[in-house]
């Protein structure tokens, strides 16, 4: 089948009801089969776990295709001049490149982002959570006072960025990820470009400072990272350093913020075992929360040649969406998939962190942050309840909460 032959699916990704609870729509989509054409997105999407998981690992698909054919040859419009700074920034992103560039970047980042950079952080993250809870009021806004500062503080500290710059970095990050939102407009694009330029200037200055006065932060390891297997060695270029550091800051907090908030709501509304995160095997509770209500719902891939998947035939440069959140609730893989079960075997088969070549480099850190933060929160506030209706963020790409008031 070609894309035009697929079953058609209609659902506005900007509909408030959908953004608040997209799962009924995913069930409608699943009823059409493992692949359908999503009209409003303008591309086919895969929703079955087997298909999504396989596509994430399939090297016939990639995050970029212009290394194989020009935009003109693909029939794509040129990048508008006003958006050139954003796409120039993305040209050095680990998330957006394919081998051999991705292989070199990932290898260098992995040499800096070692297990030693993550191991042993648990007590510090727990201490950070304790200090934040010490400042809680009887009713507290969880997203602002807890879910956001934990991952932002952790990644800023790891990268050697000043914590006091956190609010500004957060604003830049929000504006930049606006480029990935469905239905973005000219104003959102302008904010993204301005944020990209400002954040890049900030990071270039920080890198210059760390070159003059190296320390032991992750940014220093990235500056020094070298691939000894490369002829003459290979380091991250200045543009690659800037993009990588910003990528780690953005990806290192945006998704984790919402993962923490989503997990708290799941536990409270579902009457789940609040002590599970602090016991041995607490990783299973974290994975079940990531499976049920992940912060990222859709990744996209380009066909890197003539490809067939789930009976769908694609040509070079054609795009397919991989619906992670739907795959996580596939009844062929997860029994009673809409039910939270912290004892579930195989919860870690979720695809919320990707898979294959582009599997999330910060996955161990994200899991550690979630487990440590939630263990402390539910130990300190064992009777935690929602103090008002949760308010979703009004974004689909990052599925989370704008406000989640809690009380004890």
Per-residue pLDDT tens for 23-32? Answer: 999 999 999 9
341-367 pLDDT, tens digit per residue, is 999 999 999 999 999 989 888 888 899
Residues 6+ apart with CB under 8 A from 251: 95, 360, 362
Lowest mean pLDDT among 66-70, 87-91, 108-112, 338-342: 108-112
Hey, CA dihedral for 17, 13, 330, 375, is it positive or negative? negative
- Cα separation, 32 vs 44, in Å, equals 12
Mean pLDDT score, 160-171 = 88
Q: How far apart are CA 245 and CA 219, in angstroms?
A: 7
Mean pLDDT for all residues in the chain: 91
Contact 247, 172 (CB under 8 A): no
**DSSP state at residue 147:** I
Count the neighbouring beta carbons within 10 Å of the beta carbon of residue 369.
28
Q: What domains can be seen in the chain, in order of their start residue?
A: 3-407 (1.10.630.10)
- Mean local confidence (pLDDT), 195-224: 91
Please name the residues in contact with 253: beta carbons below 8 A apart, sequence gap of 6 or more. 148, 151, 152, 154, 155, 170, 173
CA distances from 73 to 11, 76, 100 (A): 31, 8, 22
Contact 239/126 with Cβ under 8 angstroms? no
* Per-residue pLDDT tens digits for 224-280: 876 555 555 577 888 999 999 998 888 878 889 999 999 999 999 999 999 999 998
* Closest C-alpha to 396, from 27, 20, 16, 19: 19
CA angle 350, 351, 353 (to 5 degrees): 115
Q: Find the mean pLDDT for residues 369-386.
A: 96
């Amino acid at each position: 089948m070609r894309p035009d032959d697929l079953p058609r699916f209609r659902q506005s990704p900007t509909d408030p009801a959908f953004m608040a609870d997209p799962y009924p729509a995913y069930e409608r989509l699943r009823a059409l089969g493992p692949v359908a054409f999503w009209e409003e997105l303008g591309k086919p999407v895969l929703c079955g776990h087997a298909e999504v998981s396989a596509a994430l690992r399939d090297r016939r698909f990639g995050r970029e295709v212009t290394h194989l054919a020009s935009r003109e040859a693909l029939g794509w419009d040129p990048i508008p001049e006003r958006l050139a700074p954003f796409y120039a920034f993305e040209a050095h992103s680990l998330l957006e490149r394919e081998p051999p560039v991705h292989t070199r970047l990932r290898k260098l980042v992995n040499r800096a982002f070692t297990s030693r950079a993550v191991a042993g952080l648990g007590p510090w993250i727990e201490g950070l959570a304790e200090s934040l809870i010490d400042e809680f009021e009887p009713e507290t806004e969880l997203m602002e006072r807890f879910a956001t500062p934990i991952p932002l503080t952790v990644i800023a500290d790891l990268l050697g960025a000043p914590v006091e710059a956190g609010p500004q970095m957060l604003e830049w990050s929000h504006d930049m990820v606006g480029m990935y939102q469905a239905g973005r407009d000219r104003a959102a694009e302008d904010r993204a470009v301005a944020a990209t330029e400002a954040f890049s200037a900030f990071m270039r200055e920080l890198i210059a400072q760390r070159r003059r006065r190296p320390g032991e932060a992750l940014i220093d390891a990235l500056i020094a990272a070298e691939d000894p297997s490369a002829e003459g060695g290979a380091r991250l270029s200045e543009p690659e350093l800037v993009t990588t550091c910003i990528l780690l800051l953005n990806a290192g907090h945006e998704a984790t913020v919402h993962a923490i908030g989503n997990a708290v709501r799941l536990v409270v509304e579902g009457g789940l075992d609040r002590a599970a995160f602090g016991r041995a095997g607490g990783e299973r509770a974290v994975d079940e929360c990531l499976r049920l209500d992940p912060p990222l719902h859709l990744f996209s891939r380009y066909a890197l040649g003539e490809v067939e998947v789930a009976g769908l035939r694609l040509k070079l440069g054609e795009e397919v969406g991989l619906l992670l959140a739907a795959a996580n609730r596939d009844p062929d893989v997860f029994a009673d998939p809409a039910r939270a079960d912290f004892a579930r075997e195989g919860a870690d088969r979720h695809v919320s962190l990707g898979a294959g070549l582009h599997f999330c480099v910060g996955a161990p850190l994200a899991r550690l942050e979630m487990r440590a933060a939630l263990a402390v929160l539910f130990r300190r506030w064992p009777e935690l309840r929602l103090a008002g209706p949760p308010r979703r963020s009004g974004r689909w790409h990052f599925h989370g909460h704008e406000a989640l008031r809690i009380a004890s």
